[in-house]
Amino acid sequence: MKKLTGYLISFAGLAGLAISTVKNTEAVKKIGIPEFLFANNLSWILSTILIAIGLFLIFTDSGSDKNKKGEEVPIYDQKGKKVVGYRRL
């Protein structure tokens, strides 16, 4: 779930970065985004931060099944009396 959230946040950052490069302010007005966001470098900074947060979430996903180790169970000899080792399920 973290990975999907990371992709969505990164996509929002990329969309913001793409919109901030638009020179035509009429297109921005049609979308309904306030112009003060694009008056300075605020949009670049916010978009870059969103992209960084999204990438962090994508690449730090714990991978719940990958890192979990199974329970150790004993391995007995042929007679079933002596433990000769352990294995993970």
What's at 55, amino acid-wise? L
pLDDT score at 44: 82
Q: List pLDDT tens digits, range 8-28.
A: 999 998 988 887 776 556 666
Average pLDDT for 32-42: 68
What's at 16, amino acid-wise? G
Summary mean pLDDT of the chain: 79
From CA 57, how far away is CA 49, in angstroms rounded?
12
From CA 12, how far away is CA 7, in angstroms rounded?
9
Position 51 confidence tier, pLDDT thresholds 50, 70, 90:
very high
Q: List pLDDT tens digits, range 71-85.
A: 888 889 888 889 998
Count the neighbouring beta carbons within 10 Å of the beta carbon of residue 88. Answer: 8
Angle formed at CA 81 by CA 76 and CA 82, multiple of 5 degrees: 60
